[in-house]
Each structure stands twice: as structure tokens, then as C-alpha cells.
């Protein structure tokens, strides 16, 4: 039994905005019923390009229905430009977290929204703004890596980068890629290796560009900023959280909260995610230690 939040169950049992907008201004369709999940999103916009109505039709599990319902509630009242900045992490956070094995449902919602926005702009001959063009252009681009579920290398790389994924299993949870016959696992791993290598090069470049020695106060402030910007949002996707307890020399003491507290994967979370982020954005010598608090 999946550990669903109350909000996920509420949106599953009482989904909002089911159906189709009459004479929609934008339509986004993703997934395939033969693969287990499919979503059709329809939008109605006013003259200011604000979303005044959003409806969905979903074939899928409880998480797919809940994610689609949450998506329509989240974007109503937004302009197209605001909606284009929605990520799968925003959907999961809106639902107070999703099981990692069900994160592909939030990705499907994000893809449907981007497909709808892209269709709206194509029909009007509009080009996407520079900061959105790459995201919207990803829909038809890329080569199929997972033929069982029709997942492209472009989507795998993007989701791995945006969600800090490190294993093939995580990629499967977020995109379904690799969840069928398994013949694409080597290709998925090659994409992950490239993403991780680029991440490390970017971190080294940042450190080389800023070789200054931090004071204790500067270090603590930078640790707090990094936790807030780079770490906490990802943990909250799965219903977890983190608290900075103390900093002693190069040791950062933290307490895990929510679903992360007592999780069997807490060691992995601390060493391969939290510690990696603090080393990347603060100082490469830092180590992380978990403190059990009430």
C-alpha cells in the first residue's frame, strides 16, 4: 500500500475539474493507454491569456488522477507565462508529496501542461520566450530510449537534472523509462553519467571562480541559503523536510523531518544528496551528520 498524503487521497476520491472544456483554446495530450497512463488537458483563456478554466481526462492510477486534479486547481487564474514555469515538483508539493514510485504522474501533468501551452502558441504562430523555449520545445524532440513506454532521451535528461536523480531506478519512478523489458537500462545509465559529470564540472567551475575563504557567519548563512534553495524543495516533494541544527568546523549537523525522519534511505539522502549539495554550493570539505531531536 502506497503511503499517500491526505491531500492525494482527497484529490483522488473527489477529483476537481474532470471533463473537457467546450471549445478549448489549448489542448495537451500525453501518455498512452496501452502504457498504463494517459492525460488530456484542455484550457480556456481570457483576452489577457489568463487560464479561466482547466479540465482533464485521465486514464491511470490514484496518483495520476490526483496529480491531474491538482494541476487544474493550481493553474486556474494563472497567465500562460506563469503556468509555463510549473514543474513536476510544484505538483508534488501541492499534494503534500507523492511516493517516489509515483512521481511519473507529476511529470505527466507537467508534460500535458507544456503540450497545451505549446499547441496554443503554435496555432497563433508565436515563439516561446527564451527562458521557456527549451522546456516547451522538448515535447517532440529527442530519440526514444525506452520503447516500452515511449520515453525520449531528452525527457530523461531533463527530469534527471531538475530532480537530482542519480539511479536508473529513480528515473523509472519519475518517467517509467526502464520499467518494462529493461533493455534500455544501459542507455539510461549513460544519460545519468553524463548529467552527473556535467553537474560536477559546474560545481568545480563555481568553486574555482570563488576561491574565497568564508567566515563562520558567512558559511552558516550560505548553508542556510543552500538548504532553502537546493535541498528543502526536493525533500518536500516526498513529504520530508530538513532542519539545520548546528555547524561545528566542517561538520554540518541536521535533523530530518516528516517522511525523511527514520526513513531507511536517510543515509543515502544525507550523503548522496544533502552533503553533495552543500559541498557543491558552500565548501567541498563539508560533511553532514544527522542529529536525532524531538
Query: Mind telling me the catalytic residues?
Result: 35, 105
How far is residue 202's CA from residue 141's CA, in Å, rounded to a whole number?
Answer: 25
How far is residue 275's CA from residue 92's CA, in Å, rounded to a whole number?
Answer: 23
As separate numbers, helices (DSSP H) first and strands (DSSP E) second, the chain gives 13, 8
DSSP designation for 229: I
Under 8 Å CB-to-CB from 81, ≥6 apart: which residues? 49, 129, 132
Residues 167 and 173: beta-carbon distance below 8 Å: no
How far is residue 54's CA from residue 86's CA, in Å, rounded to a whole number?
Answer: 15
Backbone dihedral region of 160: left (phi > 0), alpha (psi from -120 to 50 degrees) or beta? alpha
Assign 3-state DSSP to the chain and report helix, strand, coil percentages, each to 5: 50, 20, 30
Strand-pair partners of 90:
none
* Inter-axis angle of helices 103-123 and 153-162, nearest 10: 120
Residues 126 and 146: beta-carbon distance below 8 Å: no
Amino acid at each position: 500500500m502506497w503511503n499517500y498524503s491526505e491531500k492525494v487521497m482527497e484529490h483522488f476520491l473527489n477529483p476537481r475539474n474532470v471533463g473537457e472544456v467546450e471549445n478549448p483554446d489549448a489542448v495537451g495530450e500525453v501518455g498512452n493507454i496501452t502504457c498504463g497512463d494517459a492525460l488530456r488537458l484542455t484550457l480556456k483563456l481570457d483576452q489577457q491569456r489568463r487560464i479561466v478554466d482547466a479540465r482533464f481526462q485521465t486514464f491511470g492510477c490514484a496518483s495520476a488522477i490526483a496529480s491531474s486534479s491538482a494541476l487544474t486547481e493550481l493553474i486556474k487564474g494563472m497567465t500562460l507565462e506563469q503556468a509555463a514555469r510549473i514543474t513536476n515538483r510544484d505538483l508534488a508539493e501541492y499534494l503534500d508529496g507523492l511516493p517516489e514510485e509515483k512521481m511519473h504522474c507529476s511529470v505527466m501533468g507537467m508534460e500535458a501542461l507544456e503540450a497545451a501551452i505549446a499547441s496554443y502558441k503554435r496555432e497563433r504562430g508565436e515563439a516561446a520566450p527564451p527562458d521557456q523555449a527549451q522546456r516547451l520545445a522538448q515535447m517532440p524532440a529527442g530519440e526514444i530510449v525506452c520503447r516500452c513506454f515511449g520515453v525520449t532521451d531528452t525527457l530523461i535528461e531533463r527530469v534527471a537534472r531538475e530532480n537530482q536523480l542519480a539511479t536508473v531506478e529513480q528515473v523509472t519512478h519519475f518517467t517509467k523509462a526502464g520499467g518494462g523489458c529493461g533493455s534500455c537500462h544501459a542507455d539510461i545509465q549513460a544519460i545519468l553519467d553524463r548529467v552527473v559529470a556535467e553537474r560536477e564540472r559546474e560545481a568545480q567551475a563555481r568553486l574555482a571562480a570563488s576561491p574565497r575563504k568564508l567566515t563562520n557567519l558567512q558559511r552558516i548563512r550560505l548553508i542556510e541559503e543552500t538548504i532553502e534553495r537546493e535541498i528543502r524543495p526536493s525533500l518536500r516533494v516526498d513529504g520530508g523536510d530538513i532542519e539545520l541544527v548546528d555547524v561545528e568546523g566542517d561538520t554540518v549537523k541536521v535533523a530530518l523531518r516528516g517522511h525523511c525522519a527514520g526513513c531507511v534511505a536517510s543515509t543515502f539522502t544525507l550523503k548522496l544528496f544533502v552533503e553533495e549539495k552543500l559541498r557543491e554550493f558552500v565548501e567541498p570539505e563539508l560533511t553532514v551528520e544527522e542529529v536525532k531531536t524531538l
